[in-house]
């Protein structure tokens, strides 16, 4: 699911969600000790990174240099989970984790992690959507020192020999992550956030790893690979693992006994619920033929690009963003999150939609087109404009002039919240509808997780998150009042072409719900920017401010709550 924004806008309202995760597998560094000193017991942690796509940018490439875990009892004490130079395009990592490294972490409790990013613009590649030309490094401006602390809650408790997981998102959804000025300068303010684990580790999708085999068969059926980031991973295989010998083209079916140390290898893997790393598919060849590895070819996990119910086929993005055609047959089995049966046959293709995240098992991975034996819907979501016709019985996404309405009943466990304040989630459907009504002519956007209703054989909305929506360029017509926590703005409604005046609520309390105010100043071509402390709002948010961009969510009383305010001076 991709929700479009425009230049000089907070980037990438959620389309799907973005992860920096610590997951379990074998391998990694080991502790050393001096003579007579016993090394402390450790557990295993692996570092992954992922994020969401954007329609504003085709590339946001950054370099992660270190990830450390911070001891709960002593924040001056840190353990290195990853160290290196991992250059990653965040746009490619939509809900698919790139496994960076394994590490042995001393037993203990960890309530914070720190992620270090190279802030040198020369190490970054920022390319707008629809362009092939990167933003010049001289026009990239990074706020901060590149070390981002993230609170871990609940606390990560590492046990001796145990397998553990903790997830953190590169938060491209954050409206202050990346902004572009009319002159083309890009301001980056790295944002990361904690992400709770899914109900089972196997639900986390992993990007394919590329590297070389270093050893085989300890224990039997396993191999150790050295990744492109210079770290070791141990992978298990079984009779269901598919092997491909890519020394020659076309690829031929392979087998585990043909693997050899020093072979170049690419692995599509899956995290097992016990924390082990299982190889689903293995492509291998001699080091001299490493260019044969199908980096841009099929991955069994990806997003649905389009569905064709006439020809019974669908296009599915692989992990590298290259869509592949998959035919649906009369015996193709459809499931939801592994254990909920949807149905068998071509008619159930109509239950799959653009933006769904699927795992596809194919009958012959070398066939063109491929034919699906199973389609498991890992994540079903919808989002975009929430239509004003939404009622207490039906949530409606879409726009009338496009005639693309999608109606969903509310699931029994339905909840909704303001994107900035997930801890205030409400289960009241009437309150949700009242907030939509209060928006008036202000457009409302949201995103919903869907769940399969085995009774109606339809998708129900299990959540609705009200997303911050950018208003047109506005002026402040009534100064910020610190006592009331409000100000008034005026802008031209682009639909009615009329002037709209709105009361804006700002939250100055500490925590995730605080309104974020950023000032961007252009003095003779020199760009400066920074977050504005609430103590300065009464001075900076006045009628003398030149222009302001706001992202807001609606309230039932017709006012708007500001998630972010960008002041242009």
The answer to whether residue 499 scores a pLDDT higher than 50 is yes
| pLDDT for position 55 | 55
Contact present, 496 and 544 (Cβ < 8 Å): no
Confidence of residue 445 (pLDDT cuts 50, 70, 90): very high
Q: Name the CATH topology of 208-292.
A: OB fold (Dihydrolipoamide Acetyltransferase, E2P) (2.40.50)
Contacts of 29 (CB under 8 A, 6+ apart): 103, 104
Cis before 51? omega within 30: no
Q: What is the pLDDT of residues 41-76, one digit of tens each?
A: 998 776 777 775 555 677 888 999 999 999 999 999
Contacts of 220 (CB under 8 A, 6+ apart): none
| pLDDT for position 2 | 35
Q: What percent of the chain has pLDDT over 70?
A: 82
| pLDDT for position 371 | 92
Q: What is the pLDDT of residues 112-128, one digit of tens each?
A: 999 999 999 999 999 88
Query: Rounded distance, CA 205 to CA 359, Å?
Result: 9
The yes or no reply on domain 301-379 and CATH 2.40.420.20 is: no
| pLDDT for position 291 | 82
One DSSP character per residue, 184-224 reads: S-EEE---EEEE---SSGGGSEEPPEEEEEEEE-SSTTEEE
Confidence of residue 24 (pLDDT cuts 50, 70, 90): very low
Query: Rounded distance, CA 5 to CA 3, Å?
Result: 7
One DSSP character per residue, 251-308 reads: -EE--GGG--TT-EEEEEEEE-TTS-EEEEEEEEE-GGGGGGS-TTS--SEEEEEEEE
Q: Which has the minimum average pLDDT: 5-9, 189-193, 338-342, 399-403? A: 5-9
| pLDDT for position 318 | 63
Confidence of residue 180 (pLDDT cuts 50, 70, 90): confident
| More reliable by pLDDT, 12 or 420 | 420
Confidence of residue 95 (pLDDT cuts 50, 70, 90): low
Instruction: Kindly calculate the radius of gyration of the chain based on its CA atoms and give it in whole angstroms.
Output: 25
Ordered by start, the domain boundaries in the chain are 20-31+40-198, 208-292, 301-379, 381-467, 470-568
Considering all CA atoms of the chain, what is the largest pairwise distance in Å, rounded to the nearest integer?
A: 80
Taking the whole predicted model, whether its pTM rises above 0.95 is answered as no
Torsion of CA 33, 36, 41, 45, to 10 degrees: 10
Q: Which helix (H) or strand (E) holds 430?
A: helix 429-438
Q: How far is CA 222 from the centre of its chain?
A: 30
Q: Which has the minimum average pLDDT: 203-207, 235-239, 246-250, 467-471? A: 203-207
| pLDDT for position 10 | 33
Q: Which has the minimum average pLDDT: 19-33, 242-256, 440-454? A: 19-33
Residue range 91-102: mean pLDDT, rounded:
68
Highest mean pLDDT (candidates 112-126, 163-177, 229-243): 112-126
Q: Which helix (H) or strand (E) holds 432?
A: helix 429-438
One DSSP character per residue, 315-356 reads: EEE-TTS-EEEEEEEEEEEEEETTTEEEEESGGGGGG--TT-
Per the listing, tokens 């001056």 go with: 76
| pLDDT for position 423 | 63
Q: What is the pLDDT of residues 538-547, one digit of tens each?
A: 999 999 866 8
The answer to whether residue 498 scores a pLDDT higher than 50 is yes
Contacts of 120 (CB under 8 A, 6+ apart): none
Query: Rounded distance, CA 422 to CA 436, Å?
Result: 18
| pLDDT for position 309 | 96
Contact present, 163 and 276 (Cβ < 8 Å): yes
Q: Which helix (H) or strand (E) holds 431?
A: helix 429-438
Confidence of residue 198 (pLDDT cuts 50, 70, 90): low
Structure tokens given for 43? 């557990």
Torsion of CA 30, 34, 35, 37, to 10 degrees: -80
| More reliable by pLDDT, 533 or 171 | 533
Q: Which has the minimum average pLDDT: 260-269, 340-349, 354-363, 516-525? A: 516-525
Query: Nearest-5° angle of CA 465, CA 468, CA 474?
Result: 160
């Amino acid at each position: 699911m991709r929700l479009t924004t425009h230049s000089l806008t907070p980037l990438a309202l959620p389309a799907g969600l973005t992860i920096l995760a610590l997951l379990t597998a074998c391998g990694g560094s080991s502790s050393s000790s001096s003579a007579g000193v016993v090394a402390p017991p450790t557990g295993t942690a692996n570092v992954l990174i992922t994020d969401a796509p954007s329609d504003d940018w085709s590339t946001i490439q950054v370099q992660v240099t270190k990830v450390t875990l911070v001891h709960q009892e002593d924040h001056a004490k840190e353990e290195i989970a990853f160290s290196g130079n991992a250059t990653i395009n965040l746009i490619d990592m939509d809900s698919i984790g790139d496994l960076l490294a394994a590490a042995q972490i001393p037993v203990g409790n960890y309530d914070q992690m720190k992620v270090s990013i190279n802030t040198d613009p020369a190490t970054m590649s920022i390319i707008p959507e629809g362009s092939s030309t990167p933003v010049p490094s001289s026009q990239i401006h990074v706020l901060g020192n590149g070390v981002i602390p993230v609170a871990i809650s609940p606390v990560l408790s590492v046990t001796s020999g145990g397998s553990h997981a903790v997830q953190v998102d590169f938060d491209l959804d954050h409206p202050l992550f990346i902004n572009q000025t009319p002159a083309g300068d890009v301001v980056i303010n790295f944002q990361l956030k904690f992400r709770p684990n899914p109900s089972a580790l196997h639900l986390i999708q992993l990007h394919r790893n590329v590297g070389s085999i270093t050893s085989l068969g300890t224990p039997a059926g396993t191999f150790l690979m050295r990744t492109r980031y210079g770290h070791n991973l141990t992978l298990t295989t079984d009779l269901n693992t598919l092997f491909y010998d890519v020394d020659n083209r076309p690829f031929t079916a392979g087998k585990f006994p043909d693997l050899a140390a020093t072979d170049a290898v690419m692995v599509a893997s899956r995290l097992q619920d016990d924390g082990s790393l299982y190889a689903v598919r293995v492509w291998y060849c001699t080091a001299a033929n490493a260019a044969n590895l199908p980096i841009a070819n099929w991955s069994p996990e990806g997003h649905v690009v389009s569905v064709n119910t006439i020809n019974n086929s669908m296009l599915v993005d692989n992990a590298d963003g290259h869509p592949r055609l998959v035919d649906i047959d009369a015996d193709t089995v459809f499931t939801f999150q592994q254990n909920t049966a949807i149905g068998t046959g071509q008619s159930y293709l109509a239950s799959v939609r653009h933006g769904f995240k699927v795992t596809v098992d194919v009958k012959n991975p070398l066939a063109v087109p491929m034919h699906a034996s199973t389609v498991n819907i890992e994540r079903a979501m919808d989002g975009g404009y929430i239509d004003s016709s939404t009622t207490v019985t039906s949530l409606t996404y879409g726009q009338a002039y496009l005639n693309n309405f999608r109606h969903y009943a509310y699931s029994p466990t339905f909840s909704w919240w303001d994107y900035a304040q997930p801890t205030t989630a409400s289960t009241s459907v009437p309150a949700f509808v009242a907030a939509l009504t209060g928006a008036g002519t202000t457009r409302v956007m949201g995103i919903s997780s869907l769940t399969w209703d085995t009774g109606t054989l339809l998708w129900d909305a299990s959540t609705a998150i009200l997303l911050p929506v950018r208003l047109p360029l506005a002026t402040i017509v009534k100064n910020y009042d610190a006592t009331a926590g409000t100000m008034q703005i005026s802008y031209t409604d682009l639909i009615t072409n009329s002037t709209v005046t709105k009361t804006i609520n700002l939250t100055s309390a500490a925590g995730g719900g605080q309104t974020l105010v950023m000032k961007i100043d252009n003095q003779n071509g020199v760009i400066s920017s920074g977050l504005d402390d609430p103590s300065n709002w009464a001075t900076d948010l006045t009628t003398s401010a030149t222009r302001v961009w706001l992202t807001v969510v609606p309230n039932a009383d017709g006012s708007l709550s500001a998630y972010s305010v960008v002041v242009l001076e």
